[in-house]
Chain A
Amino acid sequence: MWQKKPGHDHDHVDGRTHTHNIHLFNSVTGAEHNIHILLGVDGCPTCGRAYPKNDLGHIDPKAIVDEALAMLRENHAAVLAYAERHNIPVKVGPLHALIPDGHKLHQGMLVPARRQK
C-alpha cells in the first residue's frame, strides 16, 4: 500500500535548493511517487541554489502528503478492485528492482485475488 518511505533521506529539506523532498512508495507494486515542496524561489542558474521564501506559514506538508496518498491509494484500490472483481492475481513486476531493499515489504507482494469476508 502507498506510504511514506521511512528515514530522513526520504523526508528532508534540501538546504541547497530549499526544497522539502518527500518520497512515497507502494509496498505492493513497488511504484514510487515524489513530493517536492518548493520553499525557495529564483534559483541561481549556475548552481541551482535557491533563495528562501519569506512566507511559508500557509504550507502544510502533512496535508499535502495526505492528499497525495489519498489520490494514490484511490488509484491502487481501483486496480485491486478490478483484480478482485475478475479473480485475477496481482503480480509484482520488475519495478521492485528499483526499490532499495530496505523499503521492500515481502508480505503482500503477491496479492491473491480472494474476496474478503
Chain B
Amino acid sequence: MASETVTITGAPAAKKSFANTTFGRVARYSVVRLLTMMVTVVIGIYLTILIANMGGYVDTIMRNEIRDNTTQSILANPAYRQLDTETRAKLIQDKIRLEEQRLGLDQPFVVRSINYLKNALVLNLGRAQHMNSDSGSRQVRLILLERLPATLLLAGVSQLLLFFGSVYVALGLSRKYGSFWDKVTIALSPTSAAPPWFYGIFLILIFAAIFKVLPFGGLVDSPPPKTSFGYGMNVLKHLILPASSIIISSLFLSVYNWRTFFLIYSSEDYVDMARAKGLPARDIEQRYILRPTLPTIITNFALLLITLWTGFTITESVFLWPGLGRTLFQAIGLYDTPVIVGSTIIYAYLLAITVFLLDFVYALVDPRVKVGGGGPK
C-alpha cells in the first residue's frame, strides 16, 4: 500500500521540530494521503460509470423508460383522446425530447458522464426502478444507507474477531513450533481456498436444517422481540452463523501466515539477545516481536478487509442478511440498474475509506514513514 509519496528509510529523524513530532508527521501524511486517495476515488468511480455505460447501455434503458412512460401517460390522458393520431404522435415525440433534454440525454456522452460523476461523488445516486427502502423511499442513496449498518455489523464483528483471534493463536503457535496443533493448522490452511458463503451452506445445513438450533438466516425473528435487550440478543443469535462462516473461511490460512511471519521474526538477533538477557516471554513477544512487525500486520489486515468487503455479497445473500450485498443481489434479480451502479459506487467508497484509515494507522505505528521525500528510483 506504500505509495510513492511514502518513503521508507531506516535512518532516524534528525531534528525534533514540529514536523518531526508524531502528530505533525501523521497530520502531514494524512493530508497528502487524503488528497491522493480522493483523486484515486474520483478516477475509480469515473471508471465504474464508464463500465456501467459502456455501449450506452444505461442510456438505452433510460430512453426506453422515457418513451414508455410518456407514451403511456399521453395515451391514458382523456384530454388528448380527441386529437387525431398524427398530432398525438407529434405530441409524444415532443414530450420525449423535452424529457430527454431534462435528463441531459441530448448531450454528448463525455458531458453526461461528468454529470454522472458529480452526482455519484455527492451520493446523489438517482431513483431505483423497482426497489424500495424500508421507509418506502425510492432514493437509491436511502436504500443503500439503510442497509449499510447491517453490513458494517457483520463485517466489523467477524473481521475484528478473525484478526485478533488469529494473531493471538499464531503467537501461541509460534511459541510451540512443531507441536500437534501447529501441524493441524498447517494441514488445515488449504481450507481457506473456499469463500465464506461456501462454509455458510454447510453451517446452515448442520445448525439450521439438521439440529435446528440456529436460524436459517435474516437479521431478527419475525415479529422482532419488543425489548431492546431481547432485540440485541436476537440479532446476535442471527449473527452467529454468518460471522462464523466468514471467520472459518479465512481463519486457518491467516493463523498459518502469522505463525510463519512470527517465526521468521523471532529468529532475529535482537530477539535472541533479549532471550539471552532473560526477559520474560510476554515482554519478548510484545516488545521485540509484535512492535516491529505491527506495520506489516496492519497492511495484511487491510488487504484482508479489501478482499472481503465485496466477498460478502454472496454470504449475505445465502444468509438473507439485509446488508449491502444482499441488496446488490436483489437488484441483479430485479434488473434495477441505478441500484447496481449505486452499490458499486458505495463499495468503491468503502474500499477507499478502508485503504485510507489503514494507511493512517500505518503512519501512526510506523516511525519510519515520512512524507514528501523522493522515493528510491
Q: Do A and B come from one complex?
A: no
